[in-house]
Chains A and B, each alone.
Chain A
Amino acid sequence: MAAKTIISRPIYGTLSPQPGKHHLFVADAEGALAIIDMAGKAPPGFFDGAEIDFIPGPEGKHIAALEALRPAQLHIAPSFASLLPRLKQTLTNAHMGLRLYLAGTEGLIGQAMQVALEAGMDHTSIQTEHRGSLARRMQCVHCKGITENVTTQPALCAHCGLLLLVRDHYSRRLAAFQGVCINAEDRSEIPPMEEAFP
C-alpha cells in the first residue's frame, strides 16, 4: 500500500458498491481480485448493469473468475493503449448514474482516471483500489517524456537518458510521477540504483 507523503501523492481505497444505474470497472492483473472481493459485498443483480474492462497482463490470470461474476459485458484488452478508444467512447456516451471503479497498478488507475476527468467526472467520485506492482509511470520534467513501469530509484529516462530522482509529486493531469535529474551538478556522480517500486 502506498503511504501518504506529499499532498499530490494519490491515496487509494477499497472498492465498494455505489448506488448507480451502470457500473464500469477498469482493472489490470491482480486488480481483478479487488473486483472479486467487492462482489461479495454487492447487492444481488449488481453486475447485471456492469461492464468490466480487464487487462490480464503477461500472466493472463483471473479471466474465468471475472466471467463467473456474469457482468453484462466483459472486455479483455491486451494493453491500456488498446483499451483507450473503447474507454473514451463508453464515457463519451455515458449518462449521469454511471459509476467508475479502477483497480490494479498505479499506472492503470492513473491513466483511466485521466480519461474520466476529461469526460467530466470528479476524481473524488471514482472508486480506486491499488493491487499488484508498485511500478510507477514517470514524466521526465526535463524532456517531458513518459517512462512506463519504473521500478528503480533513481531511474533512467527512456527518452533523454538523464538519471532521475522519482518523486512522490504526482500529476493527475499527466497521470505520472515527476522525475527530476539527480546529478545535475556533476553528471559523473552516479548514485546506486535500487529496486524501490517492486
Chain B
Amino acid sequence: MSTGTTKLDVVVSDVVPVNDLVTRFHFRRRDGGLLPTFSGGAHVVVEMRDSDRTRLNPYSLMGSPLDTREYTISVRRDDVGRGGSLFMHRQVKPGLEMVISYPVNLFSLDLRAKKHLMLAGGIGITPFMAQTSQLAAAGGNFELHYTCRTASLGTYADVLQQRYGNRVHLYHDDREQRIDLDRLLSSQPLGTHLYVCGPAGMINWVRHRAAALGWPSETVHFEHFAAPQPGAPFDVTLAVSGKTIRVGEQQSLLEAMEAAGVDPPYLCRGGVCGQCETNVISSDGKFIHNDHWLSEEDHRSGCKIMPCVSRFEGKSLVLER
C-alpha cells in the first residue's frame, strides 16, 4: 500500500456510547505493546471491512498524546452518509481485531505561538481533546470556544469544563448563543495562533474573518475532513495503468481506483493532505471539486483532481494514473 500508510494491528478494547450521536472507540495493540507516539491534532485511517467492501475513514485521535497504551477516536453517526459511521456504530464491538494506519498530523499546534485560540464546531472537538491535553501538560496558554447544537449533544463539553474551567467557552445553537467572532479575534495578544475544526461553513467563516481582521495566514490553522460525497456514477480512463473504471454512486474515485488494483498515495482521504493529487489528461464535462487542497485556480483549470473526495459529471475523463 501507499507510502506513509504503514499499518497497525489493533484490537478494540472498549466501545463507549457518549451521547445520542457519538460513540467512542478504544484501540490497543494486538501484541500488547505501546502504540506509536503522536501529537495533538493527528488522525488515523481506520479500515472497515464490511463483508466484500472495505472503507477507509480518517478519525482524529482524541486521547492524551502522553498516553500511548491506547488510541481513542469518537465517531458521530451519520444516517445519510456512505455507511462508515454506521458500520462503526453497529458492527464494531470490544474484542474485534481491526487495522488502522500510523498516526499522521495535518493539524498540528505551532508551538512557537504565545497563545493558542481554538474554535470547535460539533464533532470537530475531537482533535482539540488531544491538543488541550498536550498543552495543559506543558503549561501552554490556550482558550477553547466550542459551538454545539444542544447541551446534550455537546460531546465532551462537561469533561473539558471540568479539566480546564473558564478556559472553555460553550455556545449552544438552541439557546441562540453565538461567538462574537470579530471581537474575539480582535482582542487576542500578538503571537496568538488560531485553530478551527468543524463544519465547512464554520471554517470558511472563521478563515474569512481572520484574514479580513489582519491575521496572517501562517497563524490560521484548520482541519475539515470532507467525507466523500455520494453522486451519480461516472466512468474514468486511467491512462498509465490502461484501465477504464466505473465509480459507483456510494464510492469515491480513490476507492474505485483501489478496487481496480491501482494504488495512488494517500494520507487523509478527506481532501486536505494533497497526497492523492492526480493530473487530468483530458476531460469533457464538469468537475465537482470537494477538496481543501487545490487552489481555486486549479479547480477552475480542470487540470487536477483530488480523487479522495471529488467527482465528475460528463462524457469522458482521462486521468494520469
Contacts and interface: CB of A to CB of B under 8 A. Distances in A.
A binds B: yes
Interface of A: 18-22, 91-92, 94-99, 119-122, 124-125
Contacts of A92: 190
Given A91-B190, A95-B186, A119-B190, A125 B213 contact: no
14 contacts: A94-B190, A95-B186, A95-B187, A95-B188, A96-B185, A96-B214, A96-B215, A96-B219, A97-B213, A97-B215, A98-B190, A98-B214, A99-B216, A119-B114
Interface string B185-227: 1111111100000000000000000011111111100000000
Which 10 A/B pairs are nearest by Cβ-Cβ distance?
A120-B191, A20-B214, A125-B216, A97-B214, A120-B114, A94-B190, A96-B188, A122-B218, A97-B213, A96-B192
B186 A19 contact: no
B191 A19 contact: no
A21 B191 contact: no
Contact of B186 (A97, A120, A122): A97
Interface of B: 112-114, 185-192, 211-219
Contact of A120 (B113, B185, B187): B113
A121 B190 contact: yes
Listed residue (B113, B216, B219) with the most chain A CB atoms within 10 angstroms of its CB: B216
Listed residue (B187, B214, B217, B218) with the most chain A CB atoms within 10 angstroms of its CB: B214
Given A20-B213, A97-B213, A124 B218 contact: yes
Given A120-B112, A120-B114, A96 B218 contact: no
Given A119-B191, A124-B218, A125-B218, A96 B114 contact: no
A21 B213 contact: yes
A96 B189 CA distance: 6
Contacts of A95: 186-190
Listed residue (A18, A96, A125) with the most chain B CB atoms within 10 angstroms of its CB: A96
A19 B220 CA distance: 15
